[in-house]
Amino acid sequence: MITHLHPDHCVDLMALRVYMVWGPGAGRVLTVHGPPGLRERLMAFSGSYGWDRAFDFRELAAGEGQIEVGDGVVVRHREVPHLPPTHAVRVEHEGRAICFSADCGPNQALVELARGCEVLVCECSFGAERVPEGVPHLDARDAGAMAARAGVACLLLVHCSPEFDREAALAAARDAFGARSHGPARRGRDRVNWFRTRRRPVGRRAMVIAVVLSLLLRGSGTPTRSTCPVRSCGSAARSSSGWS
Ligand SMILES: [Zn+2]
Ligand SMILES: [Zn+2]
């Protein structure tokens, strides 16, 4: 599932294409759901060879939609304000769910999509700083407030730009969310920052899936400048190519 066409959210498919065409994935085709134009955008980056051997590209429905993935897993998606179209994603299985905000500005659609989830994996690009007027991203207060409104049991912050103060971001999100306990926890070189309420227990499986998901996302946790994998969201890229 690709939420939108900004490169920090889709260029990993280039490496996966190599795996699928020439590596252990050869002979199989992976279904990729994403916004219209994803296939063409990837081909524009790196040529057309191999993409259709590796992937079956399927366009997300406009506005919102639902995808039956199989084995009882259902993916719901809903458009949120960012690069149009950008879709937040909710993954459900046996009545339990986790939700990923994608990139977005404050919005009601994400609150409704994430309603009652065990874990909301939420971007907070600006940490404790306020988001400048007109920039479609979240800061830590926004993320905490939206998680509280959605009634999720756990908030996990990702996509925090490295120039912002990490501890201040944690404090701001904790206050807005009303968390009773919080991380960070370490997983390899990345820090994963999480917050829990005591409203409901968080299943271990949901937490593990959410942490793995967050580590797969560019900008996971609020890492230091030296460890942050985010380049397109950093100040250098931002000055030349806009927000991602
Ligand atoms: Zn983006
Ligand atoms: Zn991004």
Q: How far is the CA of 199 from the centre of ligand 2 (A)?
A: 30
Cα separation, 235 vs 179, in Å, equals 30
Query: Which ligand gives the minimal distance to the CA of 86?
Result: 1
CA separation for the pair 114, 68 (Å, rounded): 18
Ligand nearest to the CA of residue 233, numbered in listed order: 2
> How many A from CA of 105 to the centre of ligand 2?
12
- For the CA of 242, the nearest ligand: 1
Q: Which ligand is nearest to the CA of 125?
A: 2
27 CA from centroid of ligand 2 (Å): 31
pLDDT for res 228: 27
Output the CA 210–ligand 2 centroid distance in Å: 17
| Closest alpha carbon to 135 in 233, 35, 11 | 233
> What is the reported pLDDT for 214?
60
Ligand 2 centre distance from Cα of residue 147 (Å)? 19
CB atoms within 5 A of ion ligand 2 belong to 8, 103, 244
Ligand having the closest approach to the CA of 160: 2
Residues 6+ apart with CB under 8 A from 221: 157, 158, 160, 184, 190, 191, 192, 193, 214
At 200 the pLDDT is 58
**Tens-level pLDDT at each residue, the chain (244 residues):** 999 999 999 999 999 999 999 999 999 999 999 999 999 999 999 999 999 999 999 999 999 999 999 999 999 999 999 999 999 999 999 999 999 999 999 999 999 999 999 999 999 999 999 999 999 999 999 999 999 999 998 898 888 888 888 888 888 998 999 876 666 544 434 444 565 654 555 666 666 666 666 655 544 333 333 222 222 233 333 333 456 7
The matching CATH number, chosen from 1.10.150.130, 3.90.45.10, 3.60.15.10, 3.50.30.30, for 63-241 is 3.60.15.10
**Residue 197 CA, ligand 1 centroid: distance in Å:** 28
Q: Give residue 244's pLDDT.
A: 73
Q: Identify which of 222, 226, 165 has the alpha carbon closest to the alpha carbon of residue 195.
A: 222
> How many alpha carbons lie under 13 Å from residue 119 in its C-beta half-sphere?
25
- The first and second tokens of residue 218, run together, are 């560019």
Residue 41 alpha carbon to ligand 1 centre in Å: 14
- CATH 3.60.15.10 boundaries in the chain: 63-241
Report how far ligand 1's centroid is from the alpha carbon of 102 (Å): 8
> pTM of the predicted model, to two decimals?
0.81
CA 123 / ligand 2 centre spacing (Å): 8
Give the Å distance between the CA of 27 and the centre of ligand 1. 32
